[in-house]
Structure 1
């Protein structure tokens, strides 16, 4: 009987601890490298399904490799250079956010921003006059659907969004590839920006937060359908992000002085991210099966 594929993971993922678990439990298996991925094989479908169930438990933290007598090597976590090399899209998007932040003085200098905002605008006195969205699209300015994600207002806004994008973006780029992260980021940005426009009308908004909620929803539902260590996050992270979304929707955060919150972008990003995660996870599960 021919061998059966159990898992396919990018090379940057360290499987040594899980392989140690399999060896400790005397589970027959082998690992090979194919097309830039590491492939875990079993002898037959029954054993492959057993290993997948074990892997799901391992991804959820229910299997302790140390308790089974195996400690992964101290150098198993990839260094910064390796992480940057394996995360070109994550790094590139963050660098663009930093460049735009520097050129606009984090929103204090509005002149360079009118090329990146969802609606083109001009400032006259203390008022901003927005160009109709339809006229911008008719003029071929389709980049405005996604470029607001590079705009940030204040150092805290930029710092928090950058930290979360580095954490979530790397996971998707390592698990599904750079093109997948780029496509998801642009798609989440476009959907969240359109919904924010429909939600609030003509206004000046920006930031990665709509994309972040999309990435969060994607990882959440993908992990539910096709568990992987890269997408395993403490349950408290999801609870915190959803709680923050609820506080923003209630208006309480704005009352605390955090300014206007792009609630439409957050909700839109989360919903479309859940949809892509459900689809991607289901397809990945079928591929493993």
Structure 2
């Protein structure tokens, strides 16, 4: 991997200099950017002696390879002025920036590089572009369109309309209409139900889609919707509908995502997600008519699905 990185840099016009302790410095004048590469075990006390001769370089990033993994306590042991550190846990494929940063240029480049693609940091037009969560927007649109059609058909609180559009009805599912497990996740009972769920999807969807990627986001969403519907089918006979199972699946996926990344967990994201989950479950226990079984089924399905996808994916994230 190290040799592949260096070869790609040379081919794309970067100047390579070998430093002490097997570290390598790469610079590119036109980008005014410098890159440092080396192992965690050979991390120097400071980078200043290595970079002070490059007055024309305005930004420095150091990719620190951690072949033995990295503990969260290691992240704050080293702080270098004017150098952004990227700890790369090559065992699990995780990338930990320190100090925390929203810069996605280096992570996206390394993600593509680790997948075996020939990527040039200078010419890759996708790197640094604003992420567009188009699947989240698509799901929002589908839910809105279905709600509008239900309203025109007689109202989203009309039981016959709900059944016609695919609500979860146990007797009909037992009769063979298993497609209701999925269709029930795209219909809502009343405007407040729709507003609450679409706001949650709008808040959680883009973050989940960017964290997991478009394809894995869709897998998590659909399987969580199915998991919520199946749990509701198994534990309650009431007619039910809504995207809550899928949304709780996104919560579970984000919870696992932040748990596996100590810098995110310590930022408060993980604890905030836990609070949101417990508050919603508590509200569901106190408020009649809320299908907590669907919530729990979606949460467990989303968490498990994200764990499976993480095991089958060795790319940098």
TM-score for both structures, normalised by structure 2? 0.57
Distance 1:4 1:52, change over 3 A: farther
Equivalent of 2:253, from 218, 222, 225?
218
- Aligned position for 2:65: 48
Q: Is the 8 A contact 1:221 1:281 kept in 2?
A: no
Q: Is the 8 A contact 2:248 2:302 kept in 1?
A: yes
Distance 1:243 1:42, change over 3 A: farther
Unpaired runs of 5+ in structure 2? 6-23, 29-34, 41-63, 67-74, 76-85, 89-94, 103-127
**Pairwise mapping of residues 122-161 of structure 1 onto structure 2 (< 5 A)?**
131-137=171-177, 142-161=178-197
CA displacement at 1:212 relative to structure 2? 0.9
- Aligned position for 1:235: 271
Distance 1:59 1:204, change over 3 A: farther
RMSD after superposition: 3.8
Higher helix share: 1
Unpaired runs of 5+ in structure 1? 6-26, 32-40, 62-77, 120-129, 255-259
Deviations 1:125-147 (A, max 9, x none): xxxxx64423224xxxx432211
Q: Is the 8 A contact 2:252 2:299 kept in 1?
A: yes
Larger Rg: 2
Q: Is the 8 A contact 2:251 2:273 kept in 1?
A: no
| Secondary structure in structure 2 of the residue aligned to 1:204 | coil
- Aligned position for 2:220: 184
CA displacement at 1:176 relative to structure 2? 2.5
Equivalent of 2:297, from 268, 271, 278?
268
Deviations 1:100-135 (A, max 9, x none): 21222362344443232223xxxxxxxxxx644232
